[in-house]
Every structure is written in structure tokens, then in C-alpha cells.
Amino acid sequence: MSESNLPDRGTPRKGSQKTSGVSGLADLPEVAAVKRRRKRILWTFAALLLIGGISAKPGFAAVKRWRCGKLAEESAELLDRRDVEQAFSKARAAHQLLPEEPRALRAVAKALAARDDWGNAAAFWAEVVKREPSPEDRRAYAEAALRSGALDKAAEQVESLMSSDAESTDNHLLAAKVYSAHGDLALALKSARRAVELDPNHEVAGFLLSQFLLQKPETRIEGLERLWKLGEGKSATALQALLTLSAAPNLEKAGLDRLIPALRGHPLAEETHRLKALELELIRSPENRKAFLDAAQERYAAAEPERLRLFAAWLSLQGEHERALRVLPGDQAFTRKDLFLVRVDAMAALGQWNEILHDLKKDRAPLEQPLVHLFQARCWKELKDEERAAMAWRSALDSARGDVNMLRYIAGYAEKVGAPEQAERAYRALTQNSKTARFAFEALLRLTPPSETHRLRDLLAEMAQRWPKEIALTNDLAYLNTLLNVGVAENRATARRP
């Protein structure tokens, strides 16, 4: 029999009936129903896969937005608890997750402001305002711009705010600050008055108005009266009003009698405010100075280290350096860096340079090595040993290499003690770090005498190369080049740029 004559295995012979085997089971109704259910399940699964593939990205984006918002909320909570660095870390994480999200940008701006990094805070507020230009965000942007010196940017936001709501206390308050920064006291005073008229109970507006009033002889009495009225409150602004009154010149005895208990008894008063009250007591009754100081020294004898440090530092500010040393004896000062620094300051004021050198030689001096070298340099400088002083300065800078906080301290200290060359070396080291480069270059410009035009020009050339998009830098460089007759044609082209 040929192969073509064989019947199909899946087809029964005519007249025959399948009753067994796999082929036969397939024809049973129960098995067919199972197969139909299996097909439905497979098709449903395939459809879910297809839908999942289409909606995976939107779903993931929603999760990212939720997570970003959560991080921003956590940052705000940390700021409320004054944990600034952790708040900044949360805000940065939110921004890294969604760089264009207003909540993330706002969180970073607030954290930067809490760090007093107003320039970068203003840059982030600008991005927030581009996306969500609410009045609150505009005011925050203007405040940051004002504090960073970008007065034009602050003025732009105030103009926009006033055009949309000219009867807002906060807008007039902000306008007053901008006018004051521009040196226009008349307009600043007018805006502050309007802010108080709109809300007589707005303490910040009232305090700012009093500040402007004090600057004009004809309104000084009104300014003082407003401060006394504000000082009756229990708020932080009320406490600030009392501090402002304490700095007022020619305060009469009756005013001191009123101010001292108010300052000392304010519910928000801290140790520095109580010490200010003690200072006012010395002014009111100079004949009782020794009795007041003896009593204070007895009160602080058993104080915790921080209060003791504040008292000793306050004594030095009052010229009581020997008393400060008695309050902070050597053995106690060696237990903490902050106590040791206050003691060293008092010794320096008394010219005890050899004694300071002796204390710095001890291995137990609670100072980082760069500070040890730094103070040694100061001592040798005062003792007229320039060679040893130069060696100590070099050691301080070398041991602080890479530590930007220490380098900044060394630079500031060098300026303070009249060592500009050493300050320049520290600032020059800080130009190598991207985070401190701008600050360091600006310090170098400040330290360079105006007569040294070539040095100023070289510094500006470095800055223009580092920040080529900043028109102000290229313009300043072109101006100095013109003075020095360098690249005149190029300078003219720079001057013609918009």
C-alpha cells in the first residue's frame, strides 16, 4: 500500500468511531471547555502585558513625583527643627529625582537660604518663579536676591508684586527694603509707613519703620517711641527692639532703668541678652562696676561650659582680660577647644605671647594642628621673630591643605592680625576649590591695592576665564585692559556687546 493511500491519523475512517487515545479525549466537551478557558487566560495575560507596557512610564513618573514631594516635605520639617544640613540633603535628593519639579526647587531654595547661601538660593527661587510665580515665591526670590546684592532682580519682583497687589503689607514691606538697599531713604520710609497703615499690628513692619525713623534727626523721637512700644511684647521682634534700644546713644538713666529688667526678663532672652543687661548695669552705675562683676563671677562659677565661655568672652569685650583668665583657668580651658580659644584671646590682649607659646607646646592643647601653627605664627610675629613666624605660617597653610573651612579661618585670621600676604596665600589655595573659588577671588580683589592695576587685571583675567559667561567680569577686564593699553580693539568690541 502506498503512503498516499494511508488515512490521515487525525481523521477517522469513514464509518469508524474514536473512543480512545488522545485524539478521542480532545473531542470530549469537558476538555474543549478547558482549552477555551486556557485561551481566554492567555489572551487576558497578553493584554495585561500590553497595557502594562503602555502605562509603566506614567506609573513610574507618578511614584517619582510622590517621592519627590515626600522628600520636600521632610526637608521642610527638618528646617522647622533647625537641622539645616539634613534638610539640605533631603532637598537635594528631591531635586536629583525631579530637577524641574517646583516643590524640589523650592525645597532647595529654602535650605540654601537657611545656610545663608543667598546667591544660590536666589538662583533656585528664580527657577521656581519661572514655573509657579505665586506671590509668596516672588517675595522669597526678592528677599534672596536682595540679600545676595542682586538689587535689580529684587526690584523686578517687587514691581511685579506691586502691580498685582498694591495693598499688600508684605509687598510694601519688601519694597521698603529694596528702596533702602538702593539708598533711597525717603521712599523706604514711605513704603514702611504704608505697610504699617495697612496692618498696624505687623511687628516686623513696625520694627523696620522705626529703623528708618531713627536715621533722620526730625523723626528720631518717633522711632524710639515705636521701639519702646514694640519692646513691650513677648515676640522675637520685641526682643530685637529692646536690643536696638540698648545700642541707642545717650540713653538716659530712666531709659536704662526701664530697659534692663525688660531685656533680662524677656521670655525669649538667652545668655547673651542677660549679659547685655549686665553691660547696661555697668553703664548705669559705673561706681558699682567691681561689685557687679564680682557678683556675676560668683554666679557663673558653677555654670556649664557654654555659659562660662560666653561670660569669659563677654569679660574680654569689657576689657576685663585678667578676670576672664581667672574665670577660665588653664586646667579648665584645656578641656575644650572653645574654652581654650577664649583664654588664648584674653592672653593675647594682655600681650602674653611667651605664655601662649608655652601652652601651645603642650600635647594636650585641644586644637587642630593648623591652629597650633597659626597661633604660633602670631606669637612669633608679635615677638619680632620674622623667620620663625614665616615658618609657622607655612606650616599652618601646609597642614590645612584641602580643608576649606580651616583655610577660610586662616585667611580671615591673617587679615585680622595684619598679615595680608599670608591671607592672600590662603585665599589663593581656596581658588582651587570650585565651591570657594568665587569667594576667594573676590577676597583677593579686595586685598589688592587699587594702585596695583596689573595685579587687578591679572585677577580679573583669571576670573573671566573661569566664568566666561559673566558679562560684568569681561567688562571690568576690558576696562582695565584699556587703562593699560592692552587689546584696545578687542576691548571696544566687548564694550559694544549688549
Choose the weakest-confidence range: 36-45, 59-68, 171-180: 36-45
Span 375-393, average pLDDT:
96
State the sign of the Cα–Cα–Cα–Cα dihedral 124, 130, 134, 138.
positive
Sort 235 into a burial class: Cβ within 10 Å, 0-12 / 13-18 / 19+. middle
Tell me the C-alpha distance between 210 and 205, whole Å.
Answer: 9
What is the number of domains present in the chain? 1
In-domain check, residue 382: no
Give the pLDDT of residue 40.
Answer: 66
Give the pLDDT of residue 36.
Answer: 66
Span 11-25, average pLDDT:
41
For 375, other C-beta atoms within 10 Å of its C-beta total 23
Instruction: Supply the pTM of this predicted model.
Output: 0.73
In-domain check, residue 483: yes
Give the pLDDT of residue 435.
Answer: 85
For 222, other C-beta atoms within 10 Å of its C-beta total 14
Q: Is the pLDDT of residue 50 over 60?
A: no
Tell me the C-alpha distance between 457 and 53, whole Å.
Answer: 60
Cβ proximity of 139 and 116 under 8 Å: no
- Domain limits for position 478: 448-498
Maximum Cα–Cα distance across the chain: 141
Give the pLDDT of residue 46.
Answer: 55
In-domain check, residue 462: yes
Grid cell listed for 371: 591652629
* Higher per-residue pLDDT: 331 or 316: 316
**Confidence band (pLDDT; 50, 70, 90) for 249?**
confident
Q: Exposure string (b/e) for 316-329, b if CB count within 10 Å is 16 or more?
A: beeebbebbbebbe
Q: Is the pLDDT of residue 19 over 70?
A: no
Of 26-40, 65-79, 478-492, give the range with the top mean pLDDT. Answer: 65-79
Average pLDDT value over all residues in the chain: 87
Give the pLDDT of residue 7.
Answer: 38
In-domain check, residue 470: yes
Give the pLDDT of residue 75.
Answer: 94
Q: Quick one: which of 436, 435, 457 has its CA closest to 445?
A: 457
| pLDDT tens-digit map of 400-431 | 998 999 999 999 999 999 999 999 999 999 99
| pLDDT tens-digit map of 151-196 | 999 999 999 999 999 999 999 999 999 999 999 999 999 999 999 9
**Confidence band (pLDDT; 50, 70, 90) for 331?**
confident
Cβ proximity of 227 and 262 under 8 Å: no
Q: Is the pLDDT of residue 38 over 80?
A: no
In-domain check, residue 479: yes
Choose the weakest-confidence range: 15-19, 252-256, 473-477: 15-19
Q: Is the pLDDT of residue 58 over 80?
A: no
Give the pLDDT of residue 26.
Answer: 43
Span 104-110, average pLDDT:
95
**Confidence band (pLDDT; 50, 70, 90) for 124?**
very high
Give the pLDDT of residue 481.
Answer: 80
| pLDDT tens-digit map of 457-492 | 898 898 888 888 878 778 888 877 877 776 544 544
Give the alpha-carbon dihedral of 83, 86, 92, 95, to 10 degrees. -70
Going from the C-alpha of 153 to that of each of 125, 136, 180, the distances in angstroms are: 11, 16, 15
**Confidence band (pLDDT; 50, 70, 90) for 251?**
confident
Look at phi and psi of residue 479 and say left if phi exceeds 0, alpha if psi is from -120 to 50, else beta. Answer: alpha
In-domain check, residue 477: yes
Grid cell listed for 337: 577647644
Choose the weakest-confidence range: 46-50, 187-191, 225-229, 377-381: 46-50
Helix 135-147 and helix 169-181, axial crossing angle in degrees, nearest 10: 20
Span 434-438, average pLDDT:
88
Helix 203-214 and helix 185-198, axial crossing angle in degrees, nearest 10: 150
Grid cell listed for 385: 621673630
Give the pLDDT of residue 35.
Answer: 58
Give the pLDDT of residue 472.
Answer: 79
